[in-house]
Amino acid sequence: MRIYISGQIGELEPSPSTIEKFAKAEEKLRARGFDVFNPISRDAYRSAKKIFNEVESPHLEEGACLPDIYSIILTMDIHHLSHCHAIYLLADYPYSPGARAEHAFAKATKKKCFYQDAFHARLHLYYEYDDLVASGKPPLQREDGENDNDLRDRYVRMHLDEILIP
């Protein structure tokens, strides 16, 4: 399974700590047998800058809307994500507009989502459970004395280990 790493980068040229954070995640995922796509290791800024310079050609119509470099990087990242089976979301992904967009794309295209932190993994499973119930496909049968929240909590406990990779 090919998995895409997503998290906060925060700068055009990734800092050493950002590079290390993504490298550690890549190493952890490879150790679990995944084929990993690490967006940091592909020099996104240099590739995007080349495209950006090509887009700013004198052949464009006056007043044409040009994409900024972040738009180009995100478009390239979504392209790479589209060729993966899953996404691995680092704990800091909610603080990055780009990583949140990658997460939304992954969910919209029904890619498997893995999480570094338990909070977001649980949240994902709560929403997944609620979506199944709302679509008329409750994944669990009620046991004696269980209410709706108990069912949801049981579903989360049953599946947490499948998507949590701390």
Give the residue-averaged pLDDT of 3-20. 90
Distance CA 134, CA 47 (A): 43
Please tell me the total count of domains within the chain. 2
Q: Tell me: do 29 and 81 sit in the same domain.
A: yes
Same domain, 78 and 137: no
- Give the residue among 130, 119, 136 at the shortest CA–CA distance from 155: 130
The pLDDT value given to residue 6: 97
**pLDDT for residue 55:** 58
Q: What is the pLDDT of residues 13-60, one digit of tens each?
A: 788 999 999 999 999 999 999 999 999 887 666 676 676 666 555 555
Same structural domain, 105 and 142 = no
On whether both 140 and 109 belong to a single domain, the answer is no
Q: Residue 160 — pLDDT band, cuts 50, 70, 90?
A: very high
Give yes or no: residues 82 and 138 share one domain: no
- 16 and 85 inside one domain: yes
Name the DSSP class of 135.
Answer: T
**CATH code for position 90:** 3.40.50.10400
pLDDT of the residue at 148: 84
* Residue 129 belongs to domain spanning: 117-166
Q: Tell me, yes or no, whether 123 and 111 share the same domain.
A: no
pLDDT of residue 56: 55
pLDDT score, position 21: 96
The answer on 70 and 19 residing in a single domain is: yes
Non-local CB neighbours of 94 within 8 Å, separated by 6+ positions: 100, 120
Of the listed ranges 13-17, 88-92, 112-116, the one predicted with least confidence: 13-17
Mean pLDDT over the full length of the chain: 88
30 and 73: one domain? yes
- Other C-beta atoms closer than 10 Å to the C-beta of 155 total 20
Same domain, 51 and 90: yes
CB atoms within 10 A of CB 140: 15
Same domain, 122 and 41: no
Q: What percent of the chain has pLDDT over 70?
A: 86
What pLDDT shows up at residue 64? Answer: 53
pLDDT score, position 18: 93
